[in-house]
Chain A
Amino acid sequence: AQSVTQLGSHVSVSEGALVLLRCNYSSSVPPYLFWYVQYPNQGLQLLLKYTSAATLVKGINGFEAEFKKSETSFHLTKPSAHMSDAAEYFCAVSEPGNTPLVFGKGTRLSVIA
């Protein structure tokens, strides 16, 4: 069975500092991996996706993530945090084919001025 572990339910960074949100996954087959962001009272917005192409994936709003098979990780990074990045971030995994997404518990990112 697939699973996702997000280390840290809450991460706080200063404006302009590096953002690093951690995600480890478990899957019996090569997975598809996703990061979604959720702002208060909104749905999930797709930030980026890994679907077996390049291992370094660039997404929207300056975010990127690197798929590391040996570490079963898909950590999300952004070089410089902005106040508007404050939100909840979810890592998700699925198997190729018509399978549902399995989500991590989420990481709430706070950005301090």
Chain B
Amino acid sequence: KAGVTQTPRYLIKTRGQQVTLSCSPISGHRSVSWYQQTPGQGLQFLFEYFSETQRNKGNFPGRFSGRQFSNSRSEMNVSTLELGDSALYLCASRGDSPIAKNIQYFGAGTRLSVL
């Protein structure tokens, strides 16, 4: 079974631009979560999508948004980029049966650099 796939792996943008990151979950997984990892703040939860609906949301500004498609692939968008948005963005997927026990599987991440 293929794992979680994130594209692209690296991105360089300038302040004020917007960016879109993509995530394909493990086959059969309908839940996709996004996390931001920075040296200062560590790993922070952005949001989770399940069956094309946002199910949970972290404490990030509205510049951070996401969506999920019918095939469970998810995209994350950041508008009006700031220097502080430079981070590794990780996507995770999980199964939705009780036996899945909230176990999340992560992709390799997209490293975003904002200049």
Contact = CB atoms under 8 A, between A and B. Distances in A.
Contact of B109 (A43, A90, A92, A104): A43
A98 B101 CA distance: 9
Contact of B102 (A36, A43, A90, A96): A96
Nearest to A53: B101
Contacts of A67: none
Given A43-B90, A43-B106, A43-B108, A101 B50 contact: no
Interface residues of B, number: 26
B14 interface: no
Contacts of B108: 42-43
A44 to B, nearest CB: 4
Given A99-B56, A99-B102, A101-B104, 12 more contacts: A41-B111, A43-B4, A43-B6, A43-B107, A49-B103, A98-B48, A98-B55, A98-B56, A101-B33, A101-B35, A101-B102, A106-B43
A97 B33 CA distance: 14
A36 B42 contact: no
A49 B56 contact: no
A63 interface: no
